Amino acid sequence: MKLQKIFIAVLFFLLPLRIISQGNSDSTDVIKFSSRIPLELELAVKVKEVGAIGYANCFRGEVISVLKGKMNDKKLLITAMDTLFYGILSRADENDILNINFVFNKANEPYSTTYITGFVDSDKNSWRITGIVKL
């Protein structure tokens, strides 16, 4: 009986440690615990304004390079609801390269656009813009 209590106590101590350690990844990427999607993304992008939908202005983005995180998409449809980021995006010349920082917003988006200043990738993950710098 005493051995069973010790075993149960050890099990309850080690099991949470094992669960916590499963959220770690290699040292090069920041990973979302539940689905292993990188939390941050930094892209060098050329943008061109293409119009508006009911709640946001839209920009076509051409990914020049991935500076942080992982992204396979080469073309983006960026929606801009935020006036600050809209102003920066709209003033960019077609040849300007913008360094845009994103954070993971949500998985399994039902549509190709969403109610954020950001974009939805081909895997249906939405990414919200956190910063833009002209290179």
DSSP string, 29-61: S-B-TTT--BSEEEEEEEEEEEEEETTEEEEEE
pLDDT tens per residue, range 76-103: 999 999 889 999 999 999 899 999 999 9
Q: Is the pTM of this model over 0.75?
A: no
**CA torsion angle for 77, 124, 72, 118 (degrees, to 10)?**
40
Structure tokens at 94: 């077609």
Task: Collect all residues with Cβ–Cβ distance below 8 Å to 75 and sequence separation of at least 6.
Answer: 60, 61, 62, 63
Q: How many residues are given for the chain?
A: 135
Name the percent of the chain lying above pLDDT 70. Answer: 72
Report the alpha-carbon distance of residue 50 to residue 60 in Å, rounded.
6
Report the alpha-carbon distance of residue 89 to residue 99 in Å, rounded.
11
